[in-house]
């Protein structure tokens, strides 16, 4: 099963890119983040025409997540249970017998801000919920924009980023706590090119200079295997791109 995750930074603006990417790559599942669309505006018809069904949880202006799939999704959960959250950042569904969890982890803005505390609380709630979810669904994949670069090699300039959100100790500890639930980072199961990133700032010609971070990830539970995982930089080269690139993995039961 080919699965992918992509922070599209507005599905309204990026719909042509998404449709083009689906057509060229033919994934079984594509998780989207930052759709920035109310549910009533979700482009179901256009996606259906491309051969995909969708479940989604969106809001105006910010956040919003969706799971596109060739076959129907079941047992859909919207938002983290037991975590009071206005922001639409999680959707989970079972597809082909695999529990598929799509997340848009808070950015955190700055380690001194309330948003950083919200980010850490959100990650703790995610971990707590996943621990139970893994008991009920041993075959589980967690895809999304984690807004965490797990290691220094995931950062173009670790010194410049030191002390910043996305790389701080507590955020990385939260990522490794997910790994301690038995989840494995598909990307690091294989030899990968050095300086592999999934996000590049729109400013400073960052993409052209490859000044990026690897913050979008696909984690799989122990009951699943992975035969391939890569970052697709192609959509980042298009006109009016998202600032994130898709991550793709081939997983098997």
- Binding residues for DNA (CB under 7 A): 7, 9-10, 12-13, 34, 36, 60-62, 106-107, 109-110, 115, 145, 147, 165-166, 199, 201-204, 213, 215, 240, 243
116 noted as active-site residue? no
Going by the DSSP 8-state scheme, the letter that residue 134 receives in this structure is H
Task: Report the nearest approach of DNA to the CB of residue 1 (Å).
Answer: 26
Cα angle value 89/229/33 (rounded, 5°): 15
- Tell me the C-alpha to C-alpha distance, in Å, between residue 3 and each of 61, 112, 152, 184, 248: 26, 36, 26, 15, 6
Set 104, 116, 146, 197: catalytic member: 104
**Could you tell me whether strands 98-104 and 90-95 are parallel, antiparallel, or unpaired per DSSP bridges?**
antiparallel
Q: Which residue's CB is nearer to DNA, number 27 or number 212? A: 212
Q: Which residue's CB is nearer to DNA, number 111 or number 226? A: 111
197 noted as active-site residue? no
Give the contacts of 21 (CB within 8 A, at least 6 positions apart): 6, 30, 232, 235, 246
Set 28, 52, 116, 145: catalytic member: 145
Q: Which residue's CB is nearer to DNA, number 76 or number 205? A: 205
Give the contacts of 200 (CB within 8 A, at least 6 positions apart): 206, 207, 210, 211, 212, 236, 243
Give the contacts of 227 (CB within 8 A, at least 6 positions apart): 250, 251, 252
CA 137 to chain centre: 19
Task: Report the nearest approach of DNA to the CB of residue 241 (Å).
Answer: 8
CA-CA-CA-CA dihedral for 173, 111, 38, 142, to nearest 10: -10
Q: Which residue's CB is nearer to DNA, number 115 or number 131? A: 115
**Interaxial angle between packed helices 114-136 and 169-179, expressed in degrees from 0 to 180 and rounded to the nearest 10:** 0
* Token pair belonging to 115: 């948003």
Which residues does residue 252 pair with via DSSP β-bridges, in sequence order?
A: 225
Q: What are phi and psi of 126, to 5 degrees?
A: -60, -45
Task: Report the nearest approach of DNA to the CB of residue 125 (Å).
Answer: 17
Q: Which residue's CB is nearer to DNA, number 58 or number 251? A: 58
Task: Report the nearest approach of DNA to the CB of residue 51 (Å).
Answer: 24
Task: Report the nearest approach of DNA to the CB of residue 60 (Å).
Answer: 4
Q: Which residue's CB is nearer to DNA, number 147 or number 221? A: 147
Task: Report the nearest approach of DNA to the CB of residue 184 (Å).
Answer: 23
Indicate which residues carry an active-site annotation. 104, 145
């Amino acid at each position: 099963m080919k699965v992918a995750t992509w922070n599209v930074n507005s599905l309204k603006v990026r719909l042509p890119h998404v449709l083009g990417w689906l057509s060229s790559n033919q994934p079984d599942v594509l998780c989207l983040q930052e759709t920035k669309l109310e549910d009533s505006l979700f482009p179901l018809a256009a996606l259906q025409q491309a051969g995909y069904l969708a479940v989604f949880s969106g809001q105006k202006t910010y956040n919003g997540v969706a799971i596109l799939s060739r076959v129907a999704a079941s047992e859909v959960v919207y938002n983290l249970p037991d975590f009071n959250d206005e922001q639409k950042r999680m959707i989970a569904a079972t597809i082909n017998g695999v529990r598929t969890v799509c997340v848009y982890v808070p950015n955190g803005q700055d380690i001194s801000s309330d948003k950083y505390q919200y980010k850490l609380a959100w990650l703790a709630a995610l971990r707590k919920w996943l621990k139970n979810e893994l008991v009920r669904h041993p075959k589980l994949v967690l895809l999304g924009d984690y807004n965490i670069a797990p290691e220094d090699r995931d950062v173009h300039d670790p010194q410049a980023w030191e002390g910043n959100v996305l790389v701080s100790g507590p955020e990385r500890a939260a990522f490794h706590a997910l790994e301690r639930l038995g989840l494995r980072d598909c990307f690091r199961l294989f030899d990968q090119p050095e300086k592999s990133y999934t996000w590049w700032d729109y400013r400073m010609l960052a993409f052209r200079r490859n000044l990026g971070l690897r913050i979008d990830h696909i984690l799989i539970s122990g009951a699943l295997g992975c035969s391939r995982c890569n970052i697709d930089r192609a959509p980042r080269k298009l006109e009016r791109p998202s600032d994130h690139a898709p991550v793709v993995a081939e997983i098997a039961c």
